[in-house]
Structure 1
């Protein structure tokens, strides 16, 4: 990390602190909302789905705003919004107010991610971008590995305390970005983007970006919220105690694999071979999913998760590198915002998998996900040809 500028180093540390603030409440949010509002699990899922869906759509316009305004100031605004939103959850009693707070918090989280990607692209040489993103993603997984454990410990003292602590961490992270404004000197000076309508027209006419976003949406159905459909499957096929033990092992396997190998794999990704990397990552997803369907022991589950995680470690930086290659300098935020629409796949995944588990044999869920992964990988591979042409 010492090879990066002060801005990039602080951005990575800020990303880690923001992820920890989100991860603190991740295992507690469903129970907290259920107890606070008296909602059943299905209604809580609907509430969270509405928040994620709204935030994903708003992030499209947010990407356009990121292109027009100072990115450091926008990062600070998203961090303050996220921090205030997390703290307000402990005081909000009304369903509509809670929904509004969740939408603001989720939107701030999405915009922070988009803005971070745009800053990395804008302030790093081409050869360093994917390595920096891989390192940033490794730090993100460290946050998701330690955050939930800290949150559970704090909740044991006071159930609402994790939300206050998470909010303070998010808001306090603002100080990490103070004092670096004068250092922000993009490597390439981009012109101001045109109106939002014209930006949408540019995105609509970019067939390559549309194909890639559709492919990412299908791929995100598989890897976006994989912990949810795995727990759904295990609850159908195993006892509750076995489900908890298996999920704990799988989450540990996923986190350890990413922390140890993500940066090393990211170093080998090259723009000229991008579509082949995406195809390889998709193949690993499919092998991992088939492994899940056949697993009959904890070791089998962990081996399948290791293979699945290898695919995840390829796809995440490859997606970043694809958009970084395709996007015009003045529209990076808008392109990352458009690609973020693929997050809708993560919201749809539990719904689709729940339906399959209710109406088909349980293992067929993994075969359906494998088919979607293959289709998504094919669309990304086809759009990758355009990236190869751009490179030439």
Structure 2
């Protein structure tokens, strides 16, 4: 492809998305550039503080338990209080709790503050995902989720390399740095992002009334959706092994924190390099095939870690499961929004987020315990089995997935109801806000 062709493809990938999306994207990028605690917590506890892999797993699990507690509550807050207030509360709380964690000395206080930090950090996710679904039209959502995921991994690649070097000198600097950058995100949300929560349209009839009555019971009774949530948990259980099991296993093999940072940075660098072009290939393809293939690649990508004995082989395994991640993330996020009613997006996203939070709770416990008792190779074999089960689950669950109808997309109603809220928030913050859902650039080509 010529340089002109590459430039044209790049413009098509980013054009036509609302201005609010790009502020949310920028906030995500800054936040991930400062991500330190989740990536290096296990190494901090085992190498710097001298605790066992089991204790590191318990602390990481408590960090995940905090996320479980906050997931559903934050989803309800996003629907009732609004996306923007939920984001502000979550980000300010995260900034102070992660900074405090760096000063904790005793095992009990480390565990307690890790729980609070996990609860605060996870509270922003349902609001971010619901806001993105509110402001981006249905036909552009897979592309928007892909671009946001791309930002996550640009920041992750940067933080993995830099934080790995920082960790070799002072872990405290990493904790404080994450706190400062998270506060920057909160300021950005306060100044630039209007509220996007859709309001019921007056006179819309019984259908709008039924949708506005969405509760957590509605979510739990949605069998197809809960099946997707269960499969998401299995995928997250495998992916989360890179936060505790992989660094602990590499540390036991004699590799340094900097070498782990280099290996895990391959994940972010590869996503930065190929996420957008891959998304252009998959965004209109059958999600059943995409999710099935991604589950197999995830399970066997981590399974191959059993044969890793050098930095090069570890990098190769990361490449395999990263390709799975590139396919799975935007496809699954698009599916989650497709199955969620507009007035209940916060609750539905909260339930989806909880699947990752429960995985963040159980994966470190299982990973640390298996490594301590049976060795890392047994854990990588379990990952391969779980990936196979998830692939079969996606294949059978999505056999009769209904066709999406962009013309009847619930977001259309949100876009017509949003101007009043956007204008009110803009007046309060002193900014000029665009109407959520209205592209500020030329619409993307079909």
Q: Classify the TM-score, shorter chain.
A: 0.7 to 0.9
Q: Secondary structure at the match of 2:89?
A: helix
2: CA distance, partners of 1:290 / 1:250: 16
2: CA distance, partners of 1:289 / 1:149: 21
Q: Secondary structure at the match of 1:54?
A: helix
Q: For each residue in 1:235-290, what CA deviation from the matched residue of structure 2 results, as whole angstroms up to 9, or x when unmatched?
A: 56xx314x768645532322221110112222333466111110111122244244
Which of 122, 125, 130 aligns to 2:137? It is 125
Match of 1:203 in 2: 219
Which of 39, 54, 71 aligns to 1:59? It is 71
Q: Kindly report which structure 2 residues correspond to 1:114-263, keeping only aligned pairs within 5 A, or say none.
A: 114-151=126-163, 160-181=172-193, 184=196, 199-234=215-250, 239-241=253-255, 247-263=260-276
Unmatched segments (≥5 aa) in structure 2: 1-13, 202-207, 407-446
Unmatched segments (≥5 aa) in structure 1: none
Match of 1:365 in 2: 379
2: CA distance, partners of 1:77 / 1:261: 34
Match of 1:384 in 2: 398
Q: For each residue in 1:61-95, what CA deviation from the matched residue of structure 2 results, as whole angstroms up to 9, or x when unmatched?
A: 21111111221222122111111222333455676
8 Å CA contact 1:24–1:149 kept in 2: the answer is no
TM-score by length of 2: 0.75
Q: Kindly report which structure 2 residues correspond to 1:295-374, keeping only aligned pairs within 5 A, or say none.
A: 295=308, 298-343=311-356, 344-357=358-371, 360=374, 363-374=377-388
Greater mean alpha carbon deviation, residues 79-88 or residues 274-283? 79-88
Structure 1 pair 65–386 and aligned structure 2 pair: CA distance change class (3 A): farther
1: CA distance, partners of 2:303 / 2:48: 37
2: CA distance, partners of 1:252 / 1:76: 29
2: CA distance, partners of 1:155 / 1:300: 24
1: CA distance, partners of 2:257 / 2:101: 27
Structure 1 pair 102–249 and aligned structure 2 pair: CA distance change class (3 A): closer
Structure 1 pair 47–77 and aligned structure 2 pair: CA distance change class (3 A): same
Structure 1 pair 271–379 and aligned structure 2 pair: CA distance change class (3 A): farther
The Cα RMSD (Å) is 3.4
Structure 1 pair 337–287 and aligned structure 2 pair: CA distance change class (3 A): same
* CA shift for structure 1 position 233: 4.2
2: CA distance, partners of 1:94 / 1:24: 17
